[in-house]
A and B are shown apart, each in its own frame.
Chain A
């Protein structure tokens, strides 16, 4: 069974620090990888997507992909209290549906 693993947290970081969120996946054939942010009671909101090995930066967010290690991460620089949410890692398998992890809850305290 294809799986996506995340630490459920909570991950607590002070305002202004770097938050590092990690995800591993089991299907070596996966081609595209996504990070979604989900506030309590709301639906997932896309933060980043990454297809190739290496880093991809967008503002305060950097996604990192290592297909050999089957590892995806999301770095949030200059963390703000408004970043407090659950971050979902999702992997698009070869049948084009998303497999989600259970999410990591991030808490940014002032």
Chain B
């Protein structure tokens, strides 16, 4: 299967702990996106990369959040000092270019206790 993969699929953590999620995009996709989805809402954009360059960050992304895409391949999203409000599904998507179709991974469901 050459789709987008994410790891872990589920994460339960205690408030104040740091967590890191990984996303592996479809090979040869230059764009990689992170979204967050809470119950009853559509996904909300967090940030995206063109190869290794982070091109845009949403105002939703506080300074506790950081994302990287070293070497333009996989990406990590780290949340420091987690809060209960961070509980959500974190979705990764990739596309060939900017206006092209974005394909989503299975998501990482984060629960902060």
A→B interface (CB under 8 Å) = 4, 8, 31-32, 34, 36, 42-46, 49, 88, 90, 92, 95-103
Among the listed B33, B42, B106, which residue makes an inter-chain contact with A101, where contact means beta carbons less than 8 Å apart?
B42
When A and B form their complex, what is the total count of cross-chain residue pairs whose Cβ atoms lie within 8 Å?
A: 51
The 6 A-B pairs of least Cβ separation, nearest first, read: A100-B42, A96-B98, A97-B45, A43-B107, A43-B104, A44-B104
Among the listed B31, B43, B107, which residue makes an inter-chain contact with A100, where contact means beta carbons less than 8 Å apart?
B43
Chain A min CB distance to B29 (Å): 13
B96-111 residues with Cβ-Cβ distance < 8 A to A are: 98-99, 101-107
**Closest residue of chain A to B91, judged by CB?**
A43
- A98 to B44 Cα, complex, angstroms: 8
- A30 to B105 Cα, complex, angstroms: 24
Q: A43-B91, A44-B91 are in contact. Are A98 and B45 (CB under 8 A)?
A: yes
- In the complex, are the beta carbons of A99 and B106 less than 8 A apart? no
- In the complex, are the beta carbons of B99 and A31 less than 8 A apart? yes
Q: Tell me how many residues of B have a C-beta within 8 Å of chain A.
A: 23
Q: A96-B48, A99-B45 are in contact. Are A49 and B104 (CB under 8 A)?
A: no
- In the complex, are the beta carbons of B101 and A43 less than 8 A apart? no
Among the listed A42, A97, A99, A103, which residue makes an inter-chain contact with B48, where contact means beta carbons less than 8 Å apart?
A97
- B28 beta carbon closer than 8 Å to chain A: no
- B2 beta carbon closer than 8 Å to chain A: no
B59-113 residues with Cβ-Cβ distance < 8 A to A are: 89, 91, 93, 98-99, 101-107
- Against A, the Cβ 8 Å flags (1 = close, 0 = not) of B35-48 are 10000111111001
Q: A43-B91, A44-B91, A95-B56 are in contact. Are A34 and B48 (CB under 8 A)?
A: no
